[in-house]
Amino acid sequence: MRKIYFLPAALLIGMVACNNADNKPAAGTDTAKTATDTGMVMAHPDSTQAVPPLPSVPAGAKVFFKNLKNGQTVSSPVKIEMGLEGLKLDTAGAIVSGSGHHHLLIDAGDSIPAGTVVPKDSTHLHFGKAQSSTEVKLTPGKHVLTLQFADGIHRSYGSRLATTINVTVK
């Protein structure tokens, strides 16, 4: 009986975390652009139903930066092209096996643990409208960029579908 109450409660906590009204912009991020780039859909169609498990990751699936290399020096705004192999890029909302959407972590670690909902703030950008490119304003200096793939309700696929690079903004 307790399991029945745990799953909707966990989903509610994830919804609150993703819809935090107290978003504080990180230094150097363009929040106007961030707002237009995010396509956040979190609510499960029927929150009384159990949330399905995180879909498995197909063998050979990977995410990568198409246009940036580790250690590269760039100018702001930084154009970011997000690549994907072995999975389908899809919009947020439904949980569909073999699909999901990108998230960009800016100076926020090298991945989100598998099954954890990716936070929504100025350092965790969501691309729930199946976007595969964006531009972000970054302050001069060194930055860590992580591309993190997640399922339809923003649950991370973990380090298996994440890649991290370091860039220097001149």
Contact by Cβ (8 Å): 164, 144:
yes
Secondary structure (DSSP) of 6-36: HHHHHHHHHHHHHT-S---PPTT--HHHHHH
CATH of domain 2-20+27-43+51-169: 2.60.40.10
- For residue 27, the model assigns a pLDDT of 43
For the entire predicted model, the pTM comes to 0.73
pLDDT digits (tens, 9 = 90+) for 45-87: 445 568 899 999 999 999 999 999 999 999 999 999 999 999 9
pLDDT digits (tens, 9 = 90+) for 86-137: 999 999 999 999 999 999 999 999 999 999 999 999 999 999 999 999 999 9
- Domain chopping of the chain, boundaries: 2-20+27-43+51-169
